[in-house]
């Protein structure tokens, strides 16, 4: 990747349909960027040459209510949960790559931040998909839903909406959901899966913090009040209503203000 341009390379990673190949490409891109072997053209007009996002023929995508129940009492039930989490992390890799290439004219730190997110999400997917194979299954063996990517598409024309409604809304819900899922897996004796969720929770706090940082910065640039703007964007783009219980400690660590946290009670 020596001499390649970061945003253009991110788009090529996004277009890759094989999950393992995508994860490998993201890792190579992150290493090249850290080594100073890539350039950045933040204002370049980059043309899409394929279908976004690139993904495999399976899993079958269905409405959330049809994904199926996940009993922790059986290996298959635990595998269904790990598969659902794998799909979330695959989509999260794609959304980070999309945020990287789609929005021109941002400071260099924005692109570095979203490259970090893409790299860590790809690692999460690799860890979960490897554990899924230990359980005797593969990514694609169960149906999945596409709610996360649907919001990425709804916010594709507005970077402020993207920062408001993807990292600091949908991904922030993961901060709330991970601890009880981790407890269920540990209670079922799957300590390896529980350890993976510990890693994911740690990293996701940073990812939500990145979304919070750029959302607030963009609002400040435009002279918009962040909380009122969030309410407007959530209604305009049909964001899901926030439902507890909430992981207040993790949300605070991710940069939510005390006024925002008070609204969750």
DSSP 171: I
Q: How far is CA 231 from CA 28, 169, 180, 242, 259, in A?
A: 38, 11, 28, 12, 14
Spell out the domain ranges in the chain.
4-262
Block residue for tokens 């341009």: 5
Q: What is the pLDDT of residues 109-127, one digit of tens each?
A: 999 999 999 999 999 999 9
User: Tell me, what's the pLDDT at 49?
Assistant: 83
What does residue 46 show for φ and ψ, rounded to 5 degrees?
-105, 125
Give me the phi and psi of 36, to 5 degrees please. Answer: 75, 20
pLDDT in tens, 123-172: 999 999 999 999 999 999 999 988 888 899 999 999 999 999 999 999 99
């Amino acid at each position: 990747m020596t001499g390649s341009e970061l945003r253009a390379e991110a788009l090529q990673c996004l277009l890759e349909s094989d999950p393992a190949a995508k994860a490998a490409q993201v890792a190579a891109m992150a290493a090249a960027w850290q080594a100073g072997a890539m350039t950045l053209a933040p204002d370049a007009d980059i043309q899409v040459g394929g279908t976004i996002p690139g993904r495999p023929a399976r899993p079958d995508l269905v409405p959330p209510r049809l994904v199926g129940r996940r009993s922790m009492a059986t290996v298959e039930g635990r595998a269904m949960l790990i598969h659902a989490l794998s799909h979330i992390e695959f989509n999260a890799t794609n959304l980070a790559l999309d945020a990287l290439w789609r929005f021109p004219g941002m400071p260099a730190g924005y692109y570095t931040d979203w490259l970090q997110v893409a790299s860590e999400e790809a690692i999460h997917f690799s860890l979960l998909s490897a554990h899924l194979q230990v359980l005797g299954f593969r990514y694609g063996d169960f149906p999945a839903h596409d709610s996360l990517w649907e919001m990425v598409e709804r916010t594709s024309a507005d970077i402020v909406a993207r920062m408001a409604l993807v990292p600091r809304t949908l991904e922030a819900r993961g901060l709330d959901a991970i601890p009880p899922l981790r407890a269920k897996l540990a209670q079922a004796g799957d300590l390896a899966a529980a350890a993976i969720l510990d890693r994911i929770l740690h990293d996701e706090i940073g990812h939500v913090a990145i979304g919070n940082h750029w959302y607030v910065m963009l609002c400040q640039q435009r002279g918009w009040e962040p909380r009122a703007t969030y309410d407007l964007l959530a209604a305009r783009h049909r964001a899901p209503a926030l439902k507890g219980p909430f992981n207040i400690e993790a949300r605070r660590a991710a940069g939510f203000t005390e006024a925002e946290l008070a609204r969750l009670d």
